[in-house]
Amino acid sequence: MTAHAWTLAFAFLILGPLLGALLAGLDRILTARMQSRRGPPLLQPIYDVLKLFEKDTLVVTSLQTLYLWGFLLFMAISGFILFLGGDLLLSLFALAVSGILLCLAAYATNSPYSNIGSSRELMLMMAYEPMLLIVPLGFFLVTGSFRVSDIIAGEPWQVLELGGILIGFLFILTIKLRKSPFDLSSSHHGHQELVKGLTTDFSGSDLALVEIGHWYENVILLGWLYLFFAPLGVAWALPISLILFFGEVLVDNTHARLKWAPTLRLSWWVTGLFGVTNLVLLSLFA
């Protein structure tokens, strides 16, 4: 591991939330423009979180804060491994642990809305986990390694070989980013059926932790997307992955929310149709 890799990893730890906040701000501006609104300033998400820290924190049980810290910690570990050029599978497992801890935090409060929110979140995890796990497998078949540093050093045309997996990944990226039609575990608006779902009973600094965790998560997901194009060089890879990333905003604004059963069925079908087929073809012709 080079000094460069360590710098990048620590840069992620410190600057990751900042970058994530910018992505979130850009997302809000884009959404507003699509709805013919002006939208908030770019730094609005940061203002929001700073304000959350100023507010009183009410908890149903003090343990919920513990689980939330765990969520944030494992999210940071996942990103750290990714940006260090480490093992993609490990990064994925840390991401899963982090997701489970977030659900536990919501379960711990035991209000009906949090309960349904976390149950739905778990169902979403069940929906996207297979596809997310297939991504490293695809990279392994192409480059012979689970290591991010080896994947980056791969052949420029690996994205073509992994076309199906890329499509599958973009599909579940919508779920991971909590975008419509798959935003069924928590909603942006407190007046909807689920109130705020998963985050109903978090407030003040607890809610700020969740927000920061999501900023980290968005950067990690952007990193995963970047990996597909990484061998093309930064000049190509970064713009392409950013465009695809913000393509999700368009999807968000043009779709209504689905129920959990179609979501689960649809994502497993997409995983099977694109992800698995891609893997099978790779193993046959590799």
Partner 1 sequence: MPLIALLILFPLCAGLAVLSTRDIEQRENLVRWLAYGLGGATLLLALLHFRTEPEFFTLGQGLTGALDNLFMLGGIAVSLYLLYACRQIKGREWYIPVLLLVQMGLMLFVELAPEHPVVARPFYLDSFSVLMALIVGVIGGLICIHAVRYMHDYHAHGHGAQEAKTTCPERRRRSFFFMLFVFLAAMFGIVFSNHLLWLFFFWEVTTLCSFWLIAYSGTDEAVRNGFRALGINLIGGVSFAGALVWLTHGPGLHTWELDQLVAAGSALALIPAVLIAVAGLTKSAQMPFSSWLLGAMVAPTPVSALLHSSTLVKAGVFLLVKLAPVFHNTYAGLLLSLIGGLTFLVTSLIAINQRSAKLVLAYSTIANLGLIVMCVGIGTAATLWAAILLIVFHAVAKALLFLAAGTTAHLIGGRDIEDMEGLVYRRPALAAAMLIGILGMFLAPFGMLLSKYATLQAFLTVEVLPLGGVLLAVIIVFGSAPTLFFWSKWMGKLVAVPRRPQPSELPLPRDEAIALFSLAALTTLACALFPLIDWLFIHPYTGSLIGAGLIPALDGHLPWETIATMSFMLAALFLLPILFWLRPPQFQASSGYLSGANVDGSASYRGAMGAEREVASRSYFLTDFIREGMLTRVGLLGSGCLLILMMLTGAIR
How far CA 39 is from CA of 174, 177, 242, 281, in Å, comes to 22, 20, 20, 45
The footprint of partner 1 on this chain (CB under 8 A) covers a number of residues equal to 69
Residue 188 makes contact with partner 1 by CB under 8 A: no
**Among 42, 90, 152, 240, which residue sits at the site for partner 1 (rule: CB under 8 A)?**
90
Residue 96 makes contact with partner 1 by CB under 8 A: yes
**Among 5, 34, 44, 129, which residue sits at the site for partner 1 (rule: CB under 8 A)?**
129
d(CA 272, CA 279): 10
Contact (CB, 8 A) for 214 and 70: no
Residue 125 makes contact with partner 1 by CB under 8 A: yes
Considering only the stretches 99-107, 168-176, 180-188, 224-232, report the one whose residues sit in contact with partner 1 under the rule CB under 8 A.
99-107
Measure CA of the first residue to CA of the last residue in the chain; give whole Å.
29
d(CA 30, CA 18): 18
Q: Give the DSSP H or E segment for 221.
A: helix 204-229
**Among 110, 233, 247, 254, which residue sits at the site for partner 1 (rule: CB under 8 A)?**
110
Residue 65 makes contact with partner 1 by CB under 8 A: yes
- Taking alpha carbons only, the member of 224, 220, 215, 223 closest to residue 77 is 220
Peptide bond into 181 cis (omega under 30): yes
**Among 12, 16, 21, 67, which residue sits at the site for partner 1 (rule: CB under 8 A)?**
67
d(CA 250, CA 142): 31
Residue 276 makes contact with partner 1 by CB under 8 A: yes
- Taking alpha carbons only, the member of 276, 3, 223 closest to residue 91 is 223
* In the complex, minimum distance from the CB of residue 80 to partner 1, in angstroms, rounded to a whole number: 9
Both structure tokens of 49 = 């979180």
Task: For 87, list phi and psi in degrees, rounded to 5.
Answer: -80, 125
Instruction: Give the residue with the Cβ less far from partner 1, 19 or 66.
Output: 66
**Among 8, 26, 34, 66, which residue sits at the site for partner 1 (rule: CB under 8 A)?**
66
Residues contributing to the site for partner 1 (CB under 8 A): 1, 56-63, 65-67, 69-70, 73-74, 77, 81, 86-87, 89-90, 93-94, 96-97, 100, 103-104, 107-116, 118-119, 122-123, 125-127, 129-130, 133-134, 137, 140-141, 146, 195, 200-201, 204, 206, 261, 264, 268, 271, 276, 279-280, 282-284
